[in-house]
Chains A and B, each alone.
Chain A
Amino acid sequence: NAGVTQTPKFQVLKTGQSMTLQCAQDMNHEYMSWYRQDPGMGLRLIHYSVGAGITDQGEVPNGYNVSRSTTEDFPLRLLSAAPSQTSVYFCASSYSGAVEDTEAFFGQGTRLTVV
């Protein structure tokens, strides 16, 4: 069972470039989310989805887009990368959107550097 798979693991972008971080889960989880992790700041929620076709904003959504066309996939798009988006990005999934009640499963992360 692969769990939550993120690709790529590492990426370097130039300012202004766009890219998509991929996230896939094979646990048939309804809920998926994206976090960024910066030193000393813990994890901050970017966007989340409670099911296919439904997405919503988290704490720090600016500069990021998401879509959820299937239960399995939840890609995160950076439209025009900025140095402030240098971070480690984590995708997570859980059985339901009642996230307080449900264990979250995390991917291994994507380390993104914007130069």
Chain B
Amino acid sequence: SQQGEEDPQALSIQEGENATMNCSYKTSINNLQWYRQNSGRGLVHLILIRSNEREKHSGRLRVTLDTSKKSSSLLITASRAADTASYFCATGAPGGYNKLIFGAGTRLAVHP
């Protein structure tokens, strides 16, 4: 069963625009991670946000976490064609200390 669920499933924007993806999860977490997957490739870690953090930045990425709503968002500012990829959130499985569970992902297309 999936712990995190992203929305929207797909997002299409123009270069220079901002892209926002959301992740909702079902049970309490310690941390939440975001990953990117380029077409035909493995996943690459983007950022980890801890449950006691509300916001975290890394370059053009801004992640927020609202534990009361059990949700997180990933904002990519001033998007580029190279940002075209699928983005996944990941959390620990409910009751499973050694299991990292991924959502279904958001497919982002950035058009030049």
Contacts and interface: CB of A to CB of B under 8 A. Distances in A.
Interface of A: 4, 31, 33, 35, 40-43, 45, 48, 50, 56, 58-59, 90, 92, 94, 97-101, 103-109
A43 B104 CA distance: 7
Contact of B104 (A35, A42, A45, A92): A42
A59 B41 contact: no
A88 B92 CA distance: 22
B42 A107 contact: yes
7 contacts: A42-B2, A42-B104, A50-B98, A59-B101, A94-B100, A100-B29, A104-B90
A86 to B, nearest CB: 16
The B interface is mostly helix, strand or loop, or mixed, namely strand
B43 interface: yes
A89 B100 CA distance: 16
Interface string B24-39: 0000011101010000
Interface of B: 1-2, 9, 29-31, 33, 35, 40-45, 48, 88, 90-93, 97-105
Given A45-B99, A45-B101, A90 B33 contact: no
Contacts of A33: 100
Nearest to A31: B98
Contacts of A92: 42-43
Contacts of A103: 33, 45, 48
A56 B93 CA distance: 14
A24 to B, nearest CB: 14
Contacts of A97: 97-98
A99 B100 contact: yes
Contacts of B48: 101, 103
